[in-house]
């Protein structure tokens, strides 16, 4: 297929294509275009129902073109999961330099939930998680991305323990798991009940973090 | 179809069939057989991929026979969701008469998580939730079943507030939502990481409930 040339597809035009394809901004924008189309496609047809040719129709690109940017459907899933986690990871990373990690976490968690409610697509996340429970390759992708979040959260929590704002009695990996489960559970509930009243829940979420994480007086 | 008779399908044998089909224990066992087969089928093929004829093959029954017990694929989903929630609902109900609701909740939550880890199928739950985010009929089923859990939990929490074991400062519906999100989030994490160390997480989960829910000293 790669060797096939249409009329007018001279060496010169091929070299233009190559340089366009390797322009980082253009590559990035193409990748985003494919990920948006794939996300919509997974949501509509389910992961199983969305074949590479279906994806190609959604994205308005040939499958060959898609393969230029992503080597497989799994590579697309990996990039989607990464994109879904970006906000959460950025929130965690932003806590790392804080003078009072607990207070900063409490201050930021409400707006982070509200922000995520605006931009994230919990239905897409569920679709990928459902596939992960069935498909070992997707499971490994999800686990490895989740491990990145958990590691980063563990670093923040351990730093909080060292600075004395987070109770040092807690086992850090379990604590990270519990807090991230709470966050993910709320996203899950929002997927089922999009009208979830975050305005009422956020203050309780903050109070939970304050009471649970503070060192015992 | 219902009027068609095969050779030997006399009035007498029809009446035996009818009485068998209306025997409550037999009906219950047939329904369970169908739900087990449907659960396996949804897990393997996804909700979309599992047509009624696929379900009939999985269950080893004719589609007509299945329709006798469940009027649609959605009715099967409703029964599966109900079955998935039974354990959680039983746990909540068991707290209602407790002298100290908070202490009883703390005492039971660890073993409930461990028990649920043994019997529940979080992959199946994810499959149904993913479908709910796409299919309004399934969404309504999930929301209505979830409302049952939340209402029951609200009753328990309000009773805890009245007896003074749970902080009366909390807004009960938001509190119920937050606690059930935590529980569901942990199930979600277990779906992705089946080797999740509940032995390490349970004591923290209990400490969270104790510190968060107790009235301020």
Which single residue is written with the structure tokens 């993910």? A184
Q: Are B86 and B146 in contact (CB under 8 A)?
A: no
- Between B111 and A3, the higher pLDDT residue: B111
CA atoms within 13 A on the CB side of A196: 29
Which residues in chain B touch residue A139, judged by CB atoms under 8 angstroms apart? 192
Mean pLDDT of B47-65: 86
List the Cα angle B101/B103/B105 in 5-degree steps: 65
**Token pair of B205, please?**
């989960």
Instruction: Single out the residue of A183, A179, A181 nearest to residue A167, CA to CA.
Output: A179
Q: How far apart are CA A12 and CA A8, in angstroms?
A: 10
pLDDT of the residue at B119: 76
Cβ count near B144 (within 10 Å): 11
Q: What is the nearest CA distance from A115 to chain B, expressed in angstroms?
A: 18
List the Cα angle B88/B94/B100 in 5-degree steps: 120
Q: What is the CA radius of gyration of chain B?
A: 21
Query: Which 8-state DSSP code applies to residue B216?
Result: P
Is pLDDT of B108 > 80? yes
**Token pair of B162, please?**
């009245």
Band of residue A107 on the pLDDT scale cut at 50, 70, 90: very high
Is pLDDT of A193 > 60? yes
pLDDT averaged over every residue in chain A: 86
pLDDT averaged over every residue in chain B: 86
CA-to-CA separations, B143 to A118, A184, A195, B14, B171, in angstroms, rounded: 21, 18, 11, 40, 21
Collapsed DSSP state (helix, strand, coil) of residue B24: helix
Name which of B8-17, B69-78, B110-119 the model is least confident about: B8-17
Q: Are A98 and A104 in contact (CB under 8 A)?
A: yes
> In terms of DSSP H, where are the helices of chain A?
11-22, 24-49, 52-59, 63-69, 73-95, 101-119, 122-132, 136-163, 172-192, 198-213
Q: What percent of chain A has pLDDT over 70?
A: 90
Is pLDDT of B12 > 70? no
- ipTM of predicted assembly, 2 dp: 0.83
Q: How far apart are CA A204 and CA B181, in angstroms?
A: 13
Cβ–Cβ of A178/B205 closer than 8 Å?
A: yes
Q: What is the CA radius of gyration of chain A?
A: 21
B109: left (phi over 0), alpha (psi -120 to 50) or beta: alpha
Q: How far apart are CA B186 and CA A75, in angstroms?
A: 27
pLDDT of the residue at A4: 43
Q: How far apart are CA B144 and CA A163, in angstroms?
A: 45
Which residues in chain A touch residue B48, judged by CB atoms under 8 angstroms apart? 45-46, 48-49
In this predicted model, what pLDDT tens digit does every residue of A15-62 receive, in sequence order?
Answer: 445 566 678 898 889 999 999 999 988 888 777 778 888 889 888 999
Q: How far apart are CA B101 and CA B86, in angstroms?
A: 20
Work out the end-to-end distance of chain A between its first and last CA atoms, rounded to an integer number of angstroms. Answer: 70
Q: What is the nearest CA distance from B214 to chain A, expressed in angstroms?
A: 10
Q: Are A122 and A187 in contact (CB under 8 A)?
A: yes
Which single residue is written with the structure tokens 């190559």? A18
Q: How many CB pairs under 8 A join A and B?
A: 152
Query: CB-CB: which of B142, B175, B207 is closest to A204?
Result: B175
In this predicted model, what pLDDT tens digit does every residue of A67-93 receive, in sequence order?
Answer: 999 998 889 999 998 888 888 899 999
Mutate to test the interface with B, among A185, A193, A216 (most CBs of B within 10 A): A185
Band of residue B19 on the pLDDT scale cut at 50, 70, 90: low
pLDDT of the residue at B120: 75
Q: Which residue of B has its CA nearest to A184?
A: B185
Q: Which residue of B has its CA nearest to A136?
A: B192
In this predicted model, what pLDDT tens digit does every residue of B86-103 receive, in sequence order?
Answer: 888 999 999 999 999 999
Q: Are A125 and A142 in contact (CB under 8 A)?
A: no
CA dihedral B150, B153, B159, B160 (to 10 degrees): -130
Q: Are A62 and A56 in contact (CB under 8 A)?
A: yes
Q: How far apart are CA A102 and CA A160, in angstroms?
A: 7
């Amino acid at each position: 297929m790669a060797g096939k040339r249409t009329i007018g597809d001279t060496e010169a035009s091929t070299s233009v294509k190559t340089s366009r394809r390797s322009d980082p901004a253009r590559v990035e924008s193409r990748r985003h275009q494919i990920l948006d189309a794939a996300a919509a496609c997974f949501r509509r047809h389910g992961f199983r129902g969305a074949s590479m040719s279906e994806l190609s129709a959604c994205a308005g690109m040939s499958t060959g073109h898609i393969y230029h940017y992503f080597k497989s459907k799994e590579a697309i899933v990996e990039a989607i999961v990464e994109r879904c986690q970006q906000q959460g990871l950025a929130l965690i990373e932003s806590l790392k330099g804080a003078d009072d990690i607990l207070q900063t976490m409490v201050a930021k968690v409400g707006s982070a939930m509200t922000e995520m409610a605006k931009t994230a697509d919990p239905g897409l996340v569920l679709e990928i998680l459902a596939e992960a429970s069935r498909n070992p390759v997707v499971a490994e992708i999800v686990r490895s991305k989740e491990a990145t979040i958990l590691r980063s959260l563990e670093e923040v929590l351990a730093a909080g323990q060292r600075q004395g704002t987070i109770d040092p009695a807690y086992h850090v990996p379990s604590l990270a798991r519990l807090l991230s489960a709470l966050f993910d559970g709320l996203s899950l509930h929002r997927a089922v009940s999009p009208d979830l009243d975050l305005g009422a829940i956020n203050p309780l979420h903050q109070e939970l973090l304050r009471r649970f994480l503070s060192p015992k007086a």
